[in-house]
Structure 1
């Protein structure tokens, strides 16, 4: 009996899929998840029927688009949890997660369960929250994280970070890094007021610094 050959996509189908994913990444990053599917098809230069054949629902498209970010988020949390100093690991998680989300507005929306049907994103969120909860308990036991910290504060941080909108990704990331610095000082049990990352130039006309 002859073994059945594995199913493979034709090159044109692969090209269509890649164009759809590239278009969706660009639009989701800039405008969030409310972008219509027809606009994604238009940007990808494919017909709506082609888009829905590859991705029957927006949830399946969201899952495919943010697969790399979900893996990156897990890697960040795993790295933080592996640090023998739980407070240092916790701070690194805050810094890197804020930066990851600053690059992509759509990922933050997906991560915050705007699209709970995107199963892999929802699973990544659950994994992240549970892992950070364990890391936070260790940092509290070490006396470094304030005792009244709760996981809702992490969600509040992500909601606030999502509100940072600037003219360029580079400025947005810089602003997010400084925001993370303020957040870490707010979370610390005995703030030491370490130097903050450089300020992002957000005001149209910023006053001269003394």
Structure 2
């Protein structure tokens, strides 16, 4: 039986809280590859203190991103409870677009992998299962075209939001128009056959992730 975890000293807990708060802000604005020195500077502590509290980048990401990932899971749960399968899917995809538009780190974590036992990775697994269920429900109702899968929808949403990233300062909601076009293209009614098949999940991750996590 492992020994119980000792609570952090008050100053150590304060430094941890400052680092998590700073990481949330830095990762939201600049993504998960932002320099950790910037996180330490934002928190008002040394880089040594950061590594003392979070020996790896993945551990810091886990602490900083779990809330926003859980927010996406809650969105999927609400969508599955919606009586209209199509509207539930639309509501969830719109919520995901909002998260991606305001939080670059959330966009990154969707295609990055943390250790399997991390809270964030476990939440991502729940969210993925709910997302698949949303698509299957909308497809079964005839609302979603039958020839698209989770990889298609994920890549289309990522592209629609990321394509307007450079316009955020002057048109922060420009992504909504493009997501609306994507949603119309996903409708089952009057759909035309698509050329080729969907990409594999690995191919989508490679396309969407321009780097890998480092310590």
Give TM-score, length-normalised by structure 1.
0.78
- The structure with more radius of gyration: 1
Corresponding position of 2:48: 49
Corresponding position of 1:156: 155
**Cα deviation, residue 94, structure 1:** 0.8
Tell which has more relative contact order, 1 or 2 (C-alpha 8 A, sep 6+): 2
- CA separation of 1:155/1:6 partners in 2, compared to 1, >3 Å: closer, same or farther? closer
Maintained 8 Å contact 1:29/1:106: yes
Maintained 8 Å contact 1:20/1:41: yes
Distance in 2 (alpha carbons) for counterparts of 1:105 and 1:43 = 17
Corresponding position of 1:183: 182
Distance in 2 (alpha carbons) for counterparts of 1:22 and 1:100 = 18
- CA separation of 1:11/1:77 partners in 2, compared to 1, >3 Å: closer, same or farther? same
Corresponding position of 1:80: 79
Corresponding position of 2:145: 146
- CA separation of 1:162/1:64 partners in 2, compared to 1, >3 Å: closer, same or farther? farther
**Cα deviation, residue 127, structure 1:** 1.9
**Cα deviation, residue 167, structure 1:** 6.1
Give the CA RMSD over aligned residues: 2.4
Corresponding position of 1:207: none
Distance in 1 (alpha carbons) for counterparts of 2:73 and 2:87 = 17
Corresponding position of 2:103: 104
Matched, 1:60 2:59: yes
- CA separation of 1:40/1:178 partners in 2, compared to 1, >3 Å: closer, same or farther? same
- SS of 1:143's equivalent in the other structure is coil
Count how many residue pairs are aligned between Structure 1 and Structure 2.
Answer: 186
Distance in 2 (alpha carbons) for counterparts of 1:40 and 1:6 = 26
**Cα deviation, residue 52, structure 1:** 1.1
Segment of structure 1 superposing worse, 10-19 or 130-139: 10-19
Segment of structure 1 superposing worse, 117-126 or 163-172: 163-172
Maintained 8 Å contact 1:103/1:169: no
Corresponding position of 1:21: 20
- CA separation of 1:154/1:64 partners in 2, compared to 1, >3 Å: closer, same or farther? same
5+ residue gaps, structure 1:
192-210
Corresponding position of 1:10: 9
**Cα deviation, residue 34, structure 1:** 1.3
**Cα deviation, residue 186, structure 1:** 1.0
Deviations 1:6-46 (A, max 9, x none): 84333322321222122212221222111122222122221
Distance in 1 (alpha carbons) for counterparts of 2:81 and 2:169 = 30
Distance in 2 (alpha carbons) for counterparts of 1:97 and 1:169 = 20
Segment of structure 1 superposing worse, 75-84 or 5-14: 5-14
